[in-house]
Amino acid sequence: MSARGTALVTGASSGIGAAVAAALVARGYKVYGTSRNPEKVNAPVRGVTYLALDLSDEASIEACAAAAGDVDVLINNAGESQSGPFEELPMDAVRRLFQLNVFGAVRLSQLLLPGMRERRRGRVVMVGSMLASFPLAYRSSYVASKAAIKGFALAARREYAPYGVGITTVEPGSIATGISERRTQYVADGSPFRAAYDTMLAALNRNEANGISAEKVAAKVVSAVEAGRPRPLYAVGSNAPVVFALRRVLSRGAAERMVARRHGLR
């Protein structure tokens, strides 16, 4: 084991996951990164050992945890971005989203947390989204999945704090990682929501194109990992300090309208 310990970063083949893996390697951690197809990672991060992980497959999750061994830091980053009008979201797509964004991360955490508890040290970071704190129309399934994973972290952190294990959530805002090109979308032919949906999506894509880098998110994740007593929530990007301060003083309705206007909606 390295001086700083062993880290496992899910979804480390690109974007935030790759940036976090690189940052942890630079900090002296032994780093495992996951990918559905490790042999096909286009730009592997130097110093990272890639493990196969399919979060939709229980056996794959168990095999990944076994292959990683004693893990001191778990970064649950892998997942899917999804959008579409609420009534037009196929339930099989919603179930898949929750399996990838929530249930898979929960199960992997369940498998690795006992070792952290026994060794009386460890960190689990859920990579969420500021949309969990600032819900956006036509992103309901994604918002709900990120709110769910934050809920698990907020409740479980009290269980593990006495054992020296910290559980926290990092909520990025708009990030320039090209995720808009990989987002799954569900809009019915002739949808009555089409005009408003397209308006939201265009604004969302612009915001992401002008968003912060994955490296800035990675720096926030590392600060959460290495904090003596990690806070329940860290936010980065999209003017997070300002908008969270406004959220504390605005009514829920006013905060909702603020988010809608930012995305061209009434």
Active-site positions read 142
What is the C-alpha separation between 91 and 55, in angstroms, rounded?
18
Q: Tell how far CA 236 is from the center of its chain.
A: 12
Which residue from 91, 73, 94, 82 is spatially nearest to 30, judged by alpha carbons?
73
Q: What is the DSSP string of 229-258?
A: S--SEEEESTTHHHHHHHHHHS-HHHHHHH
Give the contacts of 261 (CB within 8 A, at least 6 positions apart). none
What is the C-alpha separation between 197 and 25, in angstroms, rounded?
40
Which residue from 80, 67, 78, 4 is spatially nearest to 32, judged by alpha carbons?
67
Q: Is residue 87 packed enough to be buried (19+ CB in 10 Å), middle (13-18) or exposed (0-12)?
A: exposed
